Amino acid sequence: MKSPRLPLPRTLPVLGLCLSFLAGNLIAQQGPRVGPLLTPTAPAPAPAAKPAATVVDIPPPESVQTDISEIEFDAIVRVEVDTKQPNYRVPWNVGGMSSGNGTGFLVGPNRFLTNAHVVSDSRLIYIKKVSDPKPYQARVLFVAHDCDLAMLELESDIDFETGFKGVQPLFIGGIPKLNTTVVAVGYPIGGDRISVTRGIVSRIDFRAYSHSGVDNHLAIQIDAAINPGNSGGPVLQNNQVVGVAFQGYSGDVAQNTGYMIPVPVIERFLVDVEDGKYDRYVDMATSFLNILNPAQRRALGLPNDGVGVMIAEADAAGSAGGMLKTKDVLLSIDGHPIASDGFIEIDDERVDLNEIIERKFAGDTVDLEIWRDSARVEITVTLKRFIPYLIQAVQYDKQPNFVLFAGLQFQPLDRNMMAAHNITDLNTRYFYSFYSQDEIYRERPEVVVLTEVLPDSTNTHLQNFVHRVIDSINGKKITQLQDVFDALHGDFHEEGHEEFHVIRLEGEKRPLVLKRKDSLLAHDRIMAQYNVSSDHFIERPEILELGGLIKDDEAAEPAKAEKPAPEKSGEKEPEESAKTPEPVKKAA
């Protein structure tokens, strides 16, 4: 249980994941009646037992489902945002400016919930009520890019007390039933006033969240129109919030297909931030295979009972790293038997086994029953974030990291950089695609790429080497962007080539060579010619939080310190390396 520091007053207790719950379809339970105390008498004969009646869960009529008469529209706000987009192609530039709008709604005193993508890369945020033209300046309090949710607050408490006096937060309900009607409220394109549309709950399933591009969570598909501007708005049923509108397909892909973030994901976010910070989702970082083939089950020593999935891989940096092994069979998770298709049963509904992990927080544990070497084994896994996958996630609210030297631009490999430079080099794409699977992060916490060459007489003929991975500079192994800056500005050199900067690329025998004296003069000249305001921006990469999994830099052979050398007009440039660079080690 997380210790609360910033409690969010709720007008209704929020329910956990319960796929059989339907908002508004609650059966009242009466306590014992109060009456006169009776003197005990001989017990009467017990009445004959009646057969139990079959209970059928019938949704309320559509008029009840679509009832929003108790909703205060002043609690549903228009969120106007001015953004500053980072420029990963020219990282020293400020980037482009743009603006847009979305929707949010009140969930507590001066607490507004919206989508993360509505306020990503924001520099100015205003909130407007439906009945008040005055814009109220707001700021991001918490943002969760992994589940596309954010919490805002007005910068002035006085503005909230006066502008939202008497406005009640919206009630949070549960998960709606399939084939029931919901109402989406927001400020979509096509006008400035609030919009109300209705649709049917079509599907409840795990789906990719497009904001980060790599995260998968529970999502609900509806056929109500979810257009730009609806994002962050509440989806209502029976006067309660049952979801947050967040994404949909364009008309040329699918018709009437929108998605909302369901209550379990909303509730997890609200609970996570109660202690004043967002800790992000946890992940076991394991992949598994369904075991549906009877012959395969016999080979593993399993009965043909339809239970269990086989572990294909457990990443060393994940929660189960070192505990689960390839060919282990997961039989149950927190007491829930796992079917051979990877589903478990919760509250009479079949859901993906990852739903158990979705409900938990950093530091929580999960109990697993596994089949290993023809025996049942029970283990407990402590859950944590899985950081290596971030290389393939879209990054927001960050300034691009880079080093520029003598016109050569170096950047760490990630999704934003790959898209900005449209990198197609197969060797570089290998590092990107298999960074986690092959545990490349052990030896290269950051994969550094030569992304651009600003033309100058000093770096002539180097343009053909862009988009290649840097292996070493001046004898120093490059494992993160800081190494590039240190190698070019510190006392490092390759033995016998003291007057040159020698840059070696992964998978390329020919080195890139710059004369030291010429490159220093060229650096200042290029900075002025291309109007470069800064030649580097370096942040400590999150991957270093893995600690012991990262190869110790001191174990690598240190580059030799540079010593002053007499000028030699006949100094030869370094030749091609006789050794082929060692391939990246793959996980066993």
pLDDT in tens, 263-294: 999 999 999 999 999 999 999 999 999 998 88
Closest CA to 400 of 412, 390, 418: 412
Tracing tokens 């979810």 back to the chain, one arrives at 226
Beta bridge partners of 124: 82
Share of residues in the chain with pLDDT > 70 (%): 83
Tell which CATH architecture fits domain 286-382: Roll (2.30)
What pTM was computed for the model? 0.80
What are residue 430's phi and psi, to 5 degrees? -60, -45
CA 492 to chain centre: 38
Give the number of residues written for the chain: 588
Which residue is catalytic, options 67, 117, 217, 332? 117
Name residue 159's amino acid: D
**Gyration radius of the chain over CA positions:** 30
Catalytic residue status for 148: yes
**Cα separation values, 301 from 297, 304, 312, 343, Å:** 6, 9, 17, 21
Selection from 112-121, 456-465, 487-496, 572-581 with the highest mean pLDDT: 112-121
C-beta of residue 98 within 8 angstroms of C-beta of residue 138:
no
Domain 390-561 class, CATH top level: alpha beta
pLDDT tens digit sequence for 357-415: 998 999 999 999 999 988 999 999 999 999 999 999 999 999 999 999 999 999 999 99
Tracing tokens 């500005």 back to the chain, one arrives at 489
Name residues whose C-beta falls within 8 Å of residue 546's C-beta, 6 or more positions apart in sequence: 317, 387, 388, 441, 445
CA-based angle 267:269:270, to the nearest 5?
Answer: 65
Question: What fold does the segment set 181-275 form as a domain?
Answer: Thrombin, subunit H (2.40.10)
Domain 181-275 identical in fold to domain 286-382: no
Question: What fold does the segment set 73-163 form as a domain?
Answer: Thrombin, subunit H (2.40.10)
Which residue is catalytic, options 122, 195, 231, 519? 231
Token code pair at residue 166: 């008497």
pLDDT band at 580 (very low <50, low <70, confident <90, very high): very low
C-beta of residue 114 within 8 angstroms of C-beta of residue 232:
yes
Name residues whose C-beta falls within 8 Å of residue 11's C-beta, 6 or more positions apart in sequence: 168, 169, 170, 171
Which residue is catalytic, options 148, 328, 471, 486? 148
Q: Over range 471-493, report the average pLDDT.
A: 95
Catalytic residue status for 252: no
So where are the chain's domains? 73-163, 181-275, 286-382, 390-561
Sign of the CA dihedral with 417 first, then 420, 421, and 423 last: positive
C-beta of residue 477 within 8 angstroms of C-beta of residue 530:
no
Catalytic residue status for 99: no
